[in-house]
């Protein structure tokens, strides 16, 4: 359990370390197409655990940094990240009513799917033919991202558990 | 609850509008200074992470490939002998060439097709982490006279990409495996001309080869020199599989790249 006062500082440190690990360590160790998007998983986990709209600001900042270090269209990662986290925050109270045990998996699934689909569409906005012709490869990559998220989301969410939050 | 939802929606709309505004400003060129500063900060920190990652990667590689190293060593010894013999022959040919040039009055030049190049060495500081693009950031930029479009190679004359964005001290390099990368190439032996296209970071394919042109499995694929700023002769890989069909306009082929893109640490940029 993390103290509410220091929650955001610890979350920010974890997020920054994960970001740098992702753009260096993970991108080198894992084959292209199978790099876990650890920053997205952490953002989703924090959104679900602590239900704070302030996470949207973190999503925006992380998206900006990812856009700056990539050669894809500027803004693709930012918009995709903000949309995905907003959807997670929006779905959280709705899904929580019905499937208490599996709400985490459902929300994570939706968050990762939306992020990846939106990102792929935005970076290929000038070349939909390439998007369509590589749909098979793209689907496999997205499927891998979903699977790795569903495996990692539970322990990471527990790390951020916030007391008295509903 | 309603108040919370309203606040959430307001923050979301504000951030989307801000993102669109920043995209517009970026397109208009007003974000170059902030981007320059941010990339400096991010790359300065990521360099330390990258060096640790390189060391870890080396250790991992060493342990996993000990048996492969033994086999490679034996193959390399044999290849070395063959190369030494070829080098001797090439030296003789060079002497003969120089003599003939002298006799015909040609002026000597170390430049290729009127383009002269210097080389600037750099290091990789970070990599693109999305699974849909393939790029790296290197620690040399405008201050080292780097410009957009300059080719980037690793030792051995193996081309890995080209510079697509330049800042004061850093540059972004689009690797040849990126799906937006297109390089004009030729097959070294048969001189068949085609285009190498990247495929979402996974590999490359050789496309748009005329049906009348020959392709041989195992032939080296090199840059043709037809791309602006990319001189002739940089090696990409060798042809591993040829795909041809009389019903198609062009042939295509798969290429085994010689560079392991996960292990690029030092690079060289060709400067005109």
Cβ-Cβ contacts under 8 Å, B138 against chain A: none
Q: How many residues does chain A have?
A: 166
Provide the pLDDT for residue B86. Answer: 77
B31 CA: distance to closest CA in chain A (Å): 11
Q: Mind telling me how many Å the CA of A98 is from chain B's nearest CA?
A: 18
Verify whether the Cβ–Cβ distance B133 to A90 is below 8 Å: no
Q: Kindly state the average pLDDT of the residues A5-26.
A: 87
- Domain presence at residue A1: no
Task: Using an 8 Å CB-CB cutoff, list chain B residues near A72.
Answer: 128, 130, 132-133
Q: Buried b vs exposed e over B219-228: b needs ≥16 C-beta within 10 Å?
A: bbbbbbbebe
Chain A nearest C-alpha distance from B175 (Å): 10
Whether B270 and B122 have beta carbons less than 8 Å apart is answered as no
B45 and A138 in contact by Cβ < 8 A? no
Angle between the N-to-C axes of helices A55-69 and A38-50, in degrees from 0 to 180, rounded to the nearest 10: 170
The answer to whether A69 contacts B165, with C-beta atoms less than 8 Å apart, is no
B61 against B142, higher pLDDT: B142
Per-residue pLDDT reduced to its tens digit, B242-271:
988 888 889 999 999 988 888 888 999 988
Instruction: For residues A64-75, give the mean pLDDT.
Output: 90
Domain annotation covers residue A26: yes
Task: Supply the mean pLDDT for chain B.
Answer: 86
Q: Which residue has the higher pLDDT, B131 or B204?
A: B204
pLDDT at res. B12: 93
Q: What pLDDT is recorded for position A98?
A: 63
Scored b (16 or more CB within 10 A) or e, A85-98 reads bbbbbbbbeebbee
Residue of chain A with shortest Cα separation from B177: A32
Q: Look at residue A78 and tell me whether its pLDDT is greater than 50.
A: yes
Mean pLDDT along residues B22-39: 91
How far, in Å, CA of A62 to CA of A39, rounded?
A: 8
Predicted confidence at residue B59, as pLDDT, reads: 85
Higher pLDDT, B71 or B209: B209
Q: Residue A5: is its pLDDT beyond 50?
A: yes
User: Measured between alpha carbons, how far is B31 from B186 in angstroms, rounded to an integer?
Assistant: 39
| Contact criterion met (CB < 8 Å) for A53 and B42 | no
* Residues 25-44 of chain A whose Cβ lies under 8 A from any Cβ of chain B: 25-29, 31-35, 37
- What counts of helices (H) and strands (E) characterise chain B? 3, 12
CA pseudo-torsion sign B170, B176, B182, B184: positive
What is the nearest CA distance from A43 to chain B, expressed in angstroms?
15
Work out the pLDDT band at B130, boundaries 50, 70, 90: confident
Question: Dihedral angle at the C-alpha atoms of A73, A79, A81, A82, nearest 10 degrees?
Answer: 160
In a domain, A140, yes or no: yes
- Is A114 within the bounds of a domain? yes
The answer to whether residue A151 is domain-embedded is: yes
Q: Which residues of A touch B177 (CB under 8 A)?
A: 32
Mean pLDDT of B41-52: 91
- For residue A166, tell me if it sits in a domain: no
Q: What is the mean pLDDT of residues B146-168?
A: 92
Residue in A with minimal Cα distance to B32? A68
Residue B92 is predicted with a pLDDT of 72
A119: which residues sit within 8 A by CB, 6+ positions away?
A76, A77, A80, B130, B132
> Full-prediction pTM beyond 0.90?
no
What is the residue whose two structure tokens read 């994570």? Answer: A108
Residue ranges of the alpha helices (H) in chain B?
2-28, 32-64, 66-104
Check CB contact under 8 Å for B200 and A31: no
Q: Which residues of B touch A57 (CB under 8 A)?
A: 11, 15
Distance from CA of B258 to the nearest CA of A (A): 16
B122 has pLDDT over 50: yes
- Is residue A84 helix, strand or coil? helix
State the pLDDT confidence band at A166, using cuts at 50, 70 and 90. very low
Residues of A numbered 112-151 whose beta carbons fall under 8 angstroms of chain B's beta carbons: which are they? Answer: 119-120, 123, 130, 134, 137-138, 141, 144-145
Contacts across the A-B interface (CB distance below 8 Å):
160
Interface predicted TM-score of the whole assembly (ipTM), two decimals: 0.87
Q: Which two tokens stand for residue B18?
A: 């801000």
Taking an 8 Å cut-off on Cβ atoms, the answer to whether A137 and B199 are in contact is yes
Q: Which of A36-45, B41-50, B68-77, B238-247 has the lowest mean pLDDT?
A: B68-77
pLDDT for the residue B68: 82
Q: How far apart are CA A18 and CA A39, in angstroms?
A: 6
Looking at the complex, does the CB of residue A77 fall below 8 Å from at least one CB of chain B? yes
Residue at A67 is within a domain: yes
Where in chain A does DSSP place strands (E)?
none
d(CA B253, CA B194): 10
The answer to whether B202 contacts A86, with C-beta atoms less than 8 Å apart, is no
Region A123-137: mean pLDDT is 81
What lies within 8 Å, CB to CB, of A99 at 6+ separation is A106
* 3 state SS of B12: helix
What average pLDDT does the segment B103-126 reach?
A: 67
Give the list of residues 6+ apart from residue A36 with CB closer than 8 angstroms, or none. A26, A30, A145, A148, A149, A152
Please give the residue of chain B at the shortest CA–CA distance from A89: B8
- Report how far residue A22's alpha carbon sits from residue A142's, in angstroms, rounded to the nearest whole number: 17
Cβ-based contacts of A71 with chain B (< 8 Å): 128, 133, 135, 164-165, 172, 174, 178, 180
Distance (Å) from the C-alpha of residue A21 to the closest C-alpha of chain B? 7
Mutate to test the interface with A, among B130, B141, B172 (most CBs of A within 10 A): B130
**Shortest Cα–Cα distance, A120 to chain B (Å):** 7
**Count of domains forming chain A:** 1
Given this model, what pLDDT does residue B102 score?
63
Which of the given ranges, A57-71, A101-115, A116-130, B200-214, has the highest pLDDT on average? A57-71
Instruction: Give the pLDDT confidence score for residue A49 in this predicted structure.
Output: 82
In a domain, A74, yes or no: yes
Closest CA to B190 of B212, B161, B173: B212
Could you list the residue range(s) of the whole structural domain that residue A88 is in? Answer: 7-159
End-to-end, the C-alpha distance of chain A in Å comes to 15
């Amino acid at each position: 359990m993390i103290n509410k006062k220091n929650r955001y500082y610890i979350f920010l440190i974890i997020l920054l370390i994960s970001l740098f690990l992702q753009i260096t360590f993970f991108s080198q160790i894992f084959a292209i197409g199978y790099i876990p998007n650890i920053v997205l998983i952490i953002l989703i986990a924090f959104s679900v655990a602590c239900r704070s709209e302030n996470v949207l600001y973190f999503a925006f900042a992380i998206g900006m940094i990812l856009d700056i270090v990539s050669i894809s269209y500027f803004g693709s990662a930012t918009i995709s990240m903000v949309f995905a986290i907003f959807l997670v925050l929006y779905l959280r109270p709705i899904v929580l009513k019905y499937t208490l045990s599996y709400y985490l998996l459902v929300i994570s699934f939706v968050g990762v799917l939306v992020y990846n689909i939106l990102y792929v569409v935005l970076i290929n906005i000038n070349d939909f033919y390439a998007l369509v012709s590589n749909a098979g490869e793209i689907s496999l990559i997205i499927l891998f991202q979903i699977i790795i998220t569903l495996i990692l989301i539970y322990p990471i969410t527990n790390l951020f558990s916030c007391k008295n939050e509903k | 609850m309603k108040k919370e939802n309203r606040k959430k929606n307001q923050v979301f709309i504000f951030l989307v509008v801000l993102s669109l505004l920043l995209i517009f400003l970026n397109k208009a060129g007003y974000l170059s200074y902030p981007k320059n500063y941010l990339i400096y900060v991010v790359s300065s920190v990521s360099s330390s992470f990258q060096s640790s990652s390189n060391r870890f990667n080396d250790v991992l590689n060493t342990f996993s490939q000990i048996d492969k190293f033994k086999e490679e060593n034996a193959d390399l010894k044999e290849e070395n002998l063959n190369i030494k013999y070829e080098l001797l022959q090439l030296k003789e040919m060079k002497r003969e060439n120089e003599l003939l040039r002298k006799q015909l009055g040609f002026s000597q030049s170390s430049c290729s097709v009127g383009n002269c190049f210097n080389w600037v060495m750099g290091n990789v500081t970070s990599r693109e982490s999305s699974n849909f693009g393939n790029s790296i950031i290197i620690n040399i930029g405008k201050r080292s006279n780097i410009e957009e479009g300059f080719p980037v190679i690793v030792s051995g004359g193996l081309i890995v990409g080209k510079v697509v964005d330049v800042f004061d001290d850093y540059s972004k390099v689009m690797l040849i495996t990126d799906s937006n990368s297109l390089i004009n190439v030729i097959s070294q032996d048969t001189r068949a001309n085609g285009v190498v296209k990247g495929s979402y970071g996974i590999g490359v394919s050789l496309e748009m080869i005329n049906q009348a042109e020959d392709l041989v499995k195992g032939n080296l694929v090199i840059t043709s020199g037809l791309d602006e700023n990319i001189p002739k002769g940089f090696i990409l890989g060798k042809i591993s599989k040829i795909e041809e069909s009389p019903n198609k306009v062009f042939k295509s082929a798969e290429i085994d790249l010689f560079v392991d893109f996960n292990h690029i640490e030092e690079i060289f940029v060709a400067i005109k």
